Amino acid sequence: MVSSTFDRHFIKKRKLRPYGNIEDEEETIVDDVGGTVEGMQDASYQNEASKRMTKKYGIGARLLSKMGYVEGKGLGWNGSGIAEPIQAEQRPLPNAGLGMLSSLEIDSQEDEEVESSSDEEKGHKIIQNSVLFNKTTTEHLSRNAADSKTREIQKLIRDFQFKFGLDFKQDRIEQLEASGPEAGQKLKVIMEEALDVQQNLNALDHRIEYLEPKLTDIEEEEQLLGDISVEWNEASIIDAAGLILKLADTELVDRMICSLLQRRCADLPWDPLDASNIILTQLVPLVEILKYQMDSNPDLLNRTQTVLFTIVFNKLLGHWQNCFLNREKINTVIRLLMDYEPILRFIGCFTYIKTKFIYPQLIEALRSWDISNSDNSPPRIWMFDFIVIIDEDFLKELKQLVERKISGYCQDWHHSKSRPISKLDILFSREILGERYSKIIQTFFLPKFIDQLWEKHFDPTIDLENWRSISFEEGTYYYLMKLQEYKQFFDEEEYKLLLHGVFNELNKILYQWILYSPMRDRKKAQSWFNSIINAMFNHNVPIEMELVEIRRTLNFLDDTNLTPIHDELFDLSEHLNLKENEADQYSNVYCFDNIPLRKISNTFKDVLLDYCEENGYKFEKLHDQYAVIPYGSRRESLVPIFVVKSQEKKYHLAIKDDILWVRKRNGNFVPIFLYRIG
């Protein structure tokens, strides 16, 4: 019952005994104010045990402690559950379940000593399943500790047998089980050492597997080296090098082939021009093999490339210098470049030879080429041979040089001063420049040809009137001779128009002659036509298109019906698109040249320009240059200076009030007649 002074109640309590037994429940009277001494000690002990369990196992142990669990005893109300937690362990088989060998397995967790606080050191320590008190107390062991150690030793023995494939005798197993905890610890150390040894052995096995192919390769290379030593002096260079190239060590291959070439070729005399020398017969085929099996760097030669450079390059060096003196040397250079190209490319010298020796001489030869004089090794005899070895960029540069030569010739051309370019050089220029050549002729040459020859010299009517004094230096005959000289300059359609213009004018005169003359004059007309044709083809045989025009005119002369075959409205300049080009040049440009004037008069300057053009002089004004001539009221007139020049002569002229002044050697200007220039 409850008293009025003190509240009492009964508390049922489990008391921890050294061997984990549970005492009978007993009632203990606890005072609400302070409680009994025994109860306080039990509560203090439980709190400390709960803290240790929480530190060791975590929050789960704390929850179990609140539900009445006491360390060292079984789970449940009666303590009939397991007393030790299930420990994680590595099983002998990867697919072994939790129940495998459950009757024999034990917890192999190592003993962990839980350090107690200073208060605990005075009292006791807890080590796994045992509660050990200090020396002042009595030491009690759990009754299953010995069995636990025995099971641990048994587990170690099983693991040892399984991992190393051993089978211990039963008496040996029993001896180990009876040896106690120290034997288990020693067995564990021995097993760890054995595992380390086994791991090292496995690593060695893997290394042996890795090294076995290499040992096989070394044995094969040793066999190859033996074969090479036998064939070193007897076999050919190609056969010996073939054995060397079977070696896997690239550095060794380079060294051995270098030594082979030095022994066989370094001191051997040979002629580069001899097609049967050892370099062409053995080294060129060898290089064809090496370039696919040996890494080469043109900036850093290996040993094989270096010895080839020493043997070949210095021997050929003399042929690259001054190679364009004659046709024979040109052929020699082309031949050497083609024959030794594999070796020169392998040692990185092929491009160097072209850029250092060949290209500069080709450029110099083109620059010094006199396009109207083909006697001194013109480019047509060597350029096509070099095209097969020169680079595209350099070929473009050569074409530009040829184009400048043709353009310069056409721009400076004059019918009486310039020499015609040979037919072979014209064909060469056409081949090199292609459509660009036709453009140059249409732009620069054809207008000059029409203006200087067709407009000023071709006039059959005047020649017919003055037939007794026919001149081959001017007039129609002169034009026909020049047309034959320069006909290779023109495209087929251009020359066809030029030829048609000639025969159209002749047919026009013949038609009028026969139409207004007696019948007996028909033979005279035919005789006149024949004389023109004979003069026109005095040095050349007429080609097919020329024969067509000749036959057409002869048929007209034999025609009694007198049907005209000429075209009264034919304009050669218009058909050649020269008038169209001229119109394009001045279209939409409002300047002095296209302003319509009421009265047009020629000046002395125009007369001077015509005179210079007829005599092949180039007339130009000097920029920002003036002269003071003794003319006028003050005898000081400032006038611009002009230059009139040809290939042989050069004059500095000034014009003032239709008076021509020329500069003497002392720098003074004096009057001069126009005809004295020339």
Torsion, Cα of 605, 606, 611, 616 (10° steps):
90
- What pLDDT is stored for residue 481 in this prediction? 92
The pLDDT of residue 611 is above 60: yes
SS (H, E, C) 46-110: HHHHHHHHHHHHCHHHHHHHHCCCCCCCCCCCCCCCCCCCCCCCCCCCCCCCCCCCCCCCCCCCC
Residue 1, CA distances (Å) to 5, 10, 39, 416 in order: 12, 11, 21, 160
The average pLDDT across 111-123 equals 41
Question: Residue 140: what pLDDT?
Answer: 43
What pLDDT, on the 0 to 100 scale, is given for residue 91? 55
Question: Whole-angstrom Cα distance, residue 678 to residue 672?
Answer: 12
Q: What is the pLDDT at residue 219? A: 66
**Signed CA dihedral, 647, 650, 655, 658: sign only:** negative
How many Å apart are CA 636 and CA 15, to the nearest integer?
149
Q: How confident is the model at residue 26 (pLDDT cuts 50, 70, 90)?
A: very low
Residues in CB range of 200: below 8 A, 6 or more apart:
none
Which pLDDT tens digit goes with each residue over 129-158? Answer: 444 444 444 444 454 666 676 677 677 777
DSSP 95: T
Question: pLDDT band at 83, cuts 50/70/90?
Answer: low
Q: Which of 211-225, 246-260, 264-278, 657-671 has the lowest mean pLDDT?
A: 211-225
The pLDDT, as a whole number, for residue 484 is 93
Q: What is the pLDDT of residue 297?
A: 65
Q: Residue 326: its pLDDT value, please?
A: 74
Neighbours of 328 (CB within 10 A): 7
pLDDT band at residue 13 under the 50/70/90 scheme: very low
- For the chain, helix, strand, coil in percent to 5 are 55, 10, 35
What is the predicted pLDDT for the residue at 264?
82
Residue 2 scores a pLDDT above 50: no
For the cut 90, the answer to whether the pLDDT of residue 498 exceeds it is yes
Give the residue with greater pLDDT, 283 vs 192.
283
| Mean pLDDT, rounded, for 455-472 | 79
pLDDT band at 495 (very low <50, low <70, confident <90, very high): very high
pLDDT band at 488; cut points 50, 70, 90: very high
Helix boundaries (H) for 73-169: 118-123, 145-164
Task: Name the pLDDT band for 601 (thresholds 50, 70, 90).
Answer: low
Per-residue pLDDT, 469: 65
> Which residue reads 């045989």 in tokens?
541
pLDDT at 9: 38
SS3 339: helix
Nearest to 511 by CA among 475, 469, 467, 460: 460
In three-state secondary structure terms, 528 is helix
For 436, residues 6+ apart whose C-beta sits below 8 A from its C-beta are: 403
Closest CA to 673 of 607, 602, 603, 601: 607
| pLDDT one-digit tens code per residue, 355-386 | 999 899 889 888 888 888 866 778 888 888 88
Residue 4, pLDDT score: 40
H helices within 115-180, ranges in order? 118-123, 145-164, 170-177
More confident residue, 375 or 310: 310
In whole angstroms, give the CA distance from residue 108 to residue 112.
Answer: 12
CA-based Rg of the chain, rounded to a whole angstrom?
Answer: 60
b/e sequence 208-222, b meaning 16+ C-beta within 10 Å: eeeeeeeeeeeeeee
Q: How many residues does the chain have?
A: 678
Q: Indicate whether 108 pLDDT > 80.
A: no
Whether the pLDDT of residue 104 is over 60: the answer is: no
Q: Which of 1-10, 235-244, 507-516 is least confident?
A: 1-10
Percent of the chain with pLDDT over 90: 18
The dihedral built from the CA positions of residue 24, 29, 32 and 33, taken in this order, carries a sign that is negative
Name the residue among 381, 391, 328 with its Cα closest to residue 358.
391
Question: Given a cut of 90, is residue 490 above it in pLDDT?
Answer: yes
Question: Which tens digit of pLDDT belongs to each residue from 223-243?
Answer: 666 667 666 667 788 888 878
Mean pLDDT score of the chain: 75
User: Which two structure tokens, joined as six digits, stand for 492?
Assistant: 């087929």
* Strands of 422-541, DSSP E: none
Asked if 132 and 124 touch (Cβ cutoff 8 Å), the reply is yes
As given in the structure block, the two tokens for residue 462 are: 């005047």
Nearest to 87 by CA among 111, 65, 113: 111
Give, in order, the Cα–Cα distances in Å from 509 to each of 285, 454, 457, 470, 517: 75, 17, 17, 17, 12
Q: Which of 68-82, 254-268, 374-388, 432-446 tops mean pLDDT?
A: 432-446
Residue 410's pLDDT band (cuts 50, 70, 90): very high
The one-letter amino acid code at 420 reads P
DSSP H helical ranges for 266-374: 278, 284-293, 303-308, 314-320, 327-339, 341-346, 350-353, 359-367
Q: How many Cα atoms within 13 Å fall on the side-chain side of residue 95?
A: 0
The mean-pLDDT minimum among 207-216, 302-311, 484-493 falls in: 207-216
- Chain segment 577-588, per-residue pLDDT in tens: 886 555 444 445
Tally of CA atoms within 13 A in the half-sphere of 640 that contains its CB: 8
> How do beta strands 618-629 and 637-645 pair?
antiparallel
User: What does the alpha-carbon distance between residue 567 and residue 587 come to, in Å, rounded to a whole number?
Assistant: 29
Q: At 76, list the tokens.
A: 């449940």
Does the pLDDT value for residue 17 go beyond 90?
no
